[in-house]
Structure 1
Amino acid sequence: MAICPLCNALEKVSIGCPTCNNPLQDGGKVADYSDPYGHYNDEDTVKLFDGYPNTAKDEVCPHLLVCKECDFEKVLFIQEQ
């Protein structure tokens, strides 16, 4: 079973905002925003309903990156290990 290095604090994101160049903050998994009880489900079940058709097959974890200065948002697909 693959794990997300961001969810498990093995890595950090260091990407600058394309709008204002401030660092983007990891807002967590996109699925956490759509289902408040989703974290109680196993990861395979969450990936079936996260809104992205290939997350399970491609073993990626979609994370929401947010700029605290200008409110820019971006979804980044993190390769699981």
Structure 2
Amino acid sequence: MAICPLCNSLKVVEIKCPKCNALLDNAGKVADFMDPYNHYKDEEIAKMDDGYPNTAKDQICPHLMVCRKCGYDKVIFIQEE
């Protein structure tokens, strides 16, 4: 089973906000926002609830990136390794 390098602090993603140029913060996996108990579930089951149909098949992990300065947010997809 593959793991997300961002979830496991193996990599850092630095993306600048297109509105104010501040660095976006990683707010966590999208699946954790869909169900407060998703982080207790098996990863493959939690991916069924994240709203993206191919995350399990393509081994990608959607993360919510948020600008703390202006409120901009964006979902990015991290390739699992």
Same-fold status (TM-score > 0.5): yes
Helix, strand or coil at the partner of 1:44 = helix
Helix, strand or coil at the partner of 1:61 = strand
Residue 26 of structure 1 pairs with residue 6 of structure 2: no
**1:73 alignment partner in structure 2:** 73
Taking only aligned residues, the RMSD between alpha carbons, in angstroms, comes to 0.5
Identity of aligned residues (%): 63
User: In structure 2, what is the Cα distance between the partners aligned to 1:58 and 1:31?
Assistant: 16
Q: CA deviation at 1:48?
A: 1.0
**Unaligned ranges ≥5, structure 1:** none
TM-score where L is the length of structure 2: 0.98
Residue 16 of structure 1 pairs with residue 16 of structure 2: yes
Helix, strand or coil at the partner of 1:39 = helix
Helix, strand or coil at the partner of 2:57 = helix
Pairs within 5 Å for 1:31-42: 31-42=31-42
**1:54 alignment partner in structure 2:** 54
TM-score where L is the length of structure 1: 0.98
User: In structure 2, what is the Cα distance between the partners aligned to 1:26 and 1:39?
Assistant: 16
User: In structure 2, what is the Cα distance between the partners aligned to 1:23 and 1:37?
Assistant: 29
Q: Is the 8 A contact 2:5 2:80 kept in 1?
A: yes
Report runs of 4+ in structure 1 exceeding 6 Å deviation. Answer: none
